[in-house]
Amino acid sequence: MPFVHIQVAAPDITQPQLRHLQSEVTRLMAEILEKRKELTAVRIERVDPGQWTVGDQPMTVAAHIDAKVRAGTNTQAQKAAFIAAAADLLRQVLGVELSPATYVVIHEVPGDAWGYDGRTQESRHLAD
């Protein structure tokens, strides 16, 4: 059910590195945020480094993780642990050039505002 969008601006990133990011973010969603691995969707989008600035300074390497989960399903500690682990993962894959202003955002979406396979998350929760 969760959806994770990763944007990466890095001129030398390889397909195996991108696949590693997908695999590891899926693992972190399952292990830390307790999301079902088989329902976790991860999309990686490559962005031209020339289109990314931090503090009005061009970046040669940059990344952003935007994760959407059902509201109220995770504790503050779980969210903090995911943000820390995801930031570490980005640093491991992208290296020291990665700006400290690399954001990991968890959006908590109400269960009645989204779903999959034509059913809202709220309807699934009520059926359990």
DSSP three-state, residue 8 = strand
Of the candidates 58, 60, 55, the residue with the CA atom closest to the CA atom of residue 101? 55
| The two three-digit tokens of residue 30, written as one number | 């399952």
Per-residue pLDDT tens over the stretch 20-35: 999 999 999 999 999 9
Range of the domain at 88: 3-127
State residue 115's pLDDT score.
Answer: 87
Provide the percentage of residues in the chain whose pLDDT is more than 70: 100
The tally of domains found in the chain comes to 1
Question: What is the spatial distance between Cα 73 and Cα 69, in angstroms, rounded to a whole number?
Answer: 8
Number of neighbours of residue 38 by Cβ within 10 angstroms: 8
Question: Is the predicted pLDDT of residue 65 greater than 90, yes or no?
Answer: yes
DSSP three-state, residue 12 = coil
What CATH code is carried by the domain that includes residue 38?
3.30.429.10
State residue 36's pLDDT score.
Answer: 95
pTM for the structure as a whole? 0.93
Of the candidates 60, 57, 79, 80, the residue with the CA atom closest to the CA atom of residue 70? 79
Question: What is the spatial distance between Cα 24 and Cα 17, in angstroms, rounded to a whole number?
Answer: 10
Beta strands in 31-114 (DSSP E): 41-46, 53-54, 57-58, 62-70, 103-109
